[in-house]
Homo-oligomer: A and B are copies of this chain.
Amino acid sequence: MPTQPMESGRARPTIKAVAAVAGVSTAAVSQAFNNKGRLSEATRRRILDAAMDLGWSPSAPAAALRSARTRTLALVVRRPTDVLGADPHFSELITGIEGELAPRGYGLLLHLVTDVDEESTLYERLAAEGRVDGAVLTDARTDDPRPALLTRLGLPAVMLGAPDPDAAVPGVGLGHQGAGVGEVVDHLLGLGHRRIAYVAGPAELQHTRLRRRRFEDGLRAAGHRPFAVLHTDFSEGAAIAATEALLAAADPPTAIVYANDSMAVCGIGTAQRSGLRVPADVSVVGYDNLPIGRWLHPRLTTVDQQVQQVGAAAARLLLARCGEDAGDARLDGRPRLVARDSTGPAPH
């Protein structure tokens, strides 16, 4: 790890060390930082990276400038770009965050990464270059390496998901995470549904497993079992394929619960195109309570997890950790069923 020198508390790294790591002269190092000389951008980049890795900075003013407020917060999204485009969840989240940032002149630095390693490397750079004041973390996972990393980097952060104010990186989200799914199950059982399928997200995400367990527990408590649980990558194609597979069953489900509204909209369209009526033939439930659910006919039954409010609360808490007077970051609320027109009595 290039960052060992920082961790092991050795003497402050020298310009000689930076030059050695970058394979250049010390003169080249100061040229890189003074933006003088005839260095190629590649060489310059290599030198700046070496300095960053070693934790070396050329002067107090430069260090001070790096440590100055950037009025920028980072949001790193670990999603395929096509899903980002297709899933309004993220524009809802960004809207909630921006609603707090914009009035304070803060900006949101959005980065897309393919995996958690790339995400970690990015935080190392953003911290070393002083590009952001803090970070909003999404998609908490088991054995998540990010809280320890950001603590080591001294970068304030909050984690979207289960509320956990005492964690090194405090969690921001609605309490009773599974509660919404529990209400969905009760709602469908109350309508007489017994063959209920669940179209879930990626298995490695905490909220996927949490909601799936809550779905299965809710049915089991009533003496039933899931018709099926299908995992997806949240993409349109996966949602359509899952829906078609379920509806093609000999004795198909009378209700399908989707892990987000976008997939539920795909599910309604797929069912309607196959000649089924929603909800007369099959009931459909989403999750997120995005605006689109209100636009559709039938209006989408979903779970309101207050994406915008959670984003806003996360922004307020992070702003407070960055030294801003950001108001109350508490969220009083829990995911709640929003029963609309896409669910109805089970067909006989």
- How many copies of the shown chain assemble into the complex? 2
The reply to whether A99 and B72 form a contact with Cβ atoms under 8 Å apart is: no
The reply to whether A99 and B70 form a contact with Cβ atoms under 8 Å apart is: no
Check if A236 is an interface residue, CB within 8 A of chain B. yes
Contact surface of A with B, Cβ cutoff 8 Å: 33-36, 41, 44-45, 48, 58-70, 72, 74, 81-82, 84-88, 90-92, 94-96, 98-99, 101-102, 105, 107-114, 122, 125, 129, 131, 236, 262, 265-266, 268-269, 272-273, 291-292, 294-297, 299, 308, 323
- CB contact between A112 and one of B34, B69, B102 (< 8 Å): that residue: B102
- Contact status of A269 and B295, CB under 8 A, knowing A41-B323, A69-B41: yes
- CB contact between A34 and one of B60, B98, B111 (< 8 Å): that residue: B60
The interface residues of chain B lying within 8 Å CB-to-CB of A273 are: 297
The reply to whether A98 and B69 form a contact with Cβ atoms under 8 Å apart is: no
Q: Can you pick out 6 interface pairs between chain A and chain B where the beta carbons lie within 8 Å of each other?
A: A65-B66, A98-B110, A108-B110, A236-B295, A265-B292, A296-B296
The interface residues of chain B lying within 8 Å CB-to-CB of A64 are: 33-36, 58, 62
The reply to whether A94 and B110 form a contact with Cβ atoms under 8 Å apart is: yes
Q: Which of A88, A114, A262 has the most CB of B within 10 A?
A: A88
Q: Which of A45, A72, A92 has the most CB of B within 10 A?
A: A72
